[in-house]
Amino acid sequence: MRVNLTVNGQARSDEVEPRLLLVHYLRDVAGLTGTHVGCESTLCGACTVLLDGKAVKSCTVLAAQADGASVTTVEGLAKDGKFHPIQDGFWEEHGLQCGYCTPGMMMAAVDLLSRTTNPSEDEIRHALEGNLCRCTGYQHIIKAVQYAAEKMRAAAGR
Amino acid sequence: MYPGQFEYHRAASIKDALDLLKRYGDDAKLLSGGHSLIPMMKLRLAQPAHLIDVTKIAELRALSESGGKIVIGAAAPHDAVATSSLVRDKLGLLAEAAAAIGDVQVRNRGTIGGSLTHADPAADYPAAVLALEGEIKLERDGGSRTVKAADFFLDLMTTAVQPGELLSQIAFAPIPAGAGYSYQKYPHPASGFAMVGVAALVSLDRSGKIASARVGVTGLGAKAFRAGAVEAALAGKAADAATITAAAAKTADGIDALGDIHASSEYRAELARVYARRAIQAAVARAKA
- What one-character DSSP code corresponds to residue A37? P
Which phi and psi (to 5°) does residue B26 adopt? -70, -15
Within this chain, do residues A29 and A93 fall inside the same structural domain, yes or no? no
**Rounded Cα distance, B134 and B128, in Å:** 9
**Average pLDDT over all residues of chain A:** 97
Beta-carbon pairs below 8 A across chains A and B:
77
A19/B2 Cβ within 8 A: yes
Within this chain, do residues A45 and A106 fall inside the same structural domain, yes or no? no
**Which of A56, A67, A105, A112 would you mutate first to test chain B, the one with the most B CBs within 10 A?**
A56
* In-domain check, residue A11: yes
Pairing of strands B50-53, B7-10: parallel
Helix (H, G, I), strand (E, B) or coil at B102: coil
A127/B105 Cβ within 8 A: no
Within this chain, do residues A45 and A108 fall inside the same structural domain, yes or no? no
Within this chain, do residues A60 and A90 fall inside the same structural domain, yes or no? no
B177 touches chain A (CB under 8 A): no
B103/A60 Cβ within 8 A: no
- Among A40, A56, A75, which residue terminates a domain? A75
Give A-chain residues touching B6 at CB under 8 angstroms. Answer: 18-19
pLDDT value at residue B190? 82
Give A-chain residues touching B61 at CB under 8 angstroms. Answer: none
B102/A56 Cβ within 8 A: no
- Among A47, A75, A103, which residue terminates a domain? A75
* In-domain check, residue A31: yes
A129 by Cβ neighbours in 10 Å (0-12 / 13-18 / 19+) ranks as: middle
**Rounded Cα distance, B19 and B87, in Å:** 32
Nearest of B149, B173, B175, B198 to residue B286 by alpha carbon: B175
Per-residue pLDDT of chain B (289 residues; tens, 9 = 90+): 899 999 999 999 999 999 999 999 999 999 999 999 999 999 999 999 999 999 999 999 999 999 999 999 999 999 999 999 999 999 999 999 999 999 999 999 999 999 999 999 999 999 999 999 999 999 999 999 999 999 999 999 999 999 999 999 999 999 999 999 999 999 998 888 999 999 999 999 999 999 999 999 999 999 999 999 999 999 999 999 999 999 999 999 999 999 999 999 999 999 999 999 999 999 999 999 8
User: Which domains does chain B possess?
Assistant: 7-51 (3.30.43.10), 62-172 (3.30.465.10), 183-288 (3.30.390.50)
Give B-chain residues touching A62 at CB under 8 angstroms. Answer: 8, 34, 38
Residues 221-280 of B with CB under 8 A from A: none
Within this chain, do residues A24 and A61 fall inside the same structural domain, yes or no? yes
Within this chain, do residues A62 and A108 fall inside the same structural domain, yes or no? no
Give B-chain residues touching A1 at CB under 8 angstroms. Answer: 8
- Among A23, A57, A75, which residue terminates a domain? A75
Give A-chain residues touching B34 at CB under 8 angstroms. Answer: 60-62, 65
A65/B1 Cβ within 8 A: no
* Residue B185 Cα, gap to closest chain A Cα (Å): 15
* In-domain check, residue A15: yes
Residues B220/B255, Cβ–Cβ less than 8 Å: yes
Within this chain, do residues A125 and A69 fall inside the same structural domain, yes or no? no
Look at residue A95 and tell me whether its pLDDT is greater than 80: yes
Looking up residue A47, the CATH number of its domain turns out to be 3.10.20.30
Give A-chain residues touching B58 at CB under 8 angstroms. Answer: none
Tell me the residue length of chain B: 289
* In-domain check, residue A80: no
Q: Is the ipTM of this complex over 0.95?
A: yes
* In-domain check, residue A138: yes
Within this chain, do residues A93 and A71 fall inside the same structural domain, yes or no? no
B104 touches chain A (CB under 8 A): yes
* Residue B180 Cα, gap to closest chain A Cα (Å): 25
Cα nearest neighbour of A18 on chain B: B8
Give A-chain residues touching B191 at CB under 8 angstroms. Answer: 43
Within this chain, do residues A125 and A143 fall inside the same structural domain, yes or no? yes
Domains identified in chain A, total number: 2
Within this chain, do residues A62 and A95 fall inside the same structural domain, yes or no? no
Cα nearest neighbour of A56 on chain B: B105
**Which of A20, A35, A42 would you mutate first to test chain B, the one with the most B CBs within 10 A?**
A42
B38 touches chain A (CB under 8 A): yes
pLDDT value at residue B289? 87
Look at residue A158 and tell me whether its pLDDT is greater than 80: no
Within this chain, do residues A70 and A92 fall inside the same structural domain, yes or no? no
Looking up residue A106, the CATH number of its domain turns out to be 1.10.150.120
Residues B172/B267, Cβ–Cβ less than 8 Å: no
* Residue B118 Cα, gap to closest chain A Cα (Å): 16
Question: Which domain does A90 fall in, by range?
Answer: 85-155
* Residue B43 Cα, gap to closest chain A Cα (Å): 10
pLDDT value at residue B34? 97
Within this chain, do residues A67 and A120 fall inside the same structural domain, yes or no? no
| In chain B, alpha helices (H) | 14-24, 37-42, 78-83, 85-90, 92-99, 104-109, 112-118, 125-131, 149-152, 228-234, 241-248, 265-288
* Residue A115 Cα, gap to closest chain B Cα (Å): 11
Cα nearest neighbour of B80 on chain A: A54
A45/B38 Cβ within 8 A: no
pLDDT value at residue A49? 98
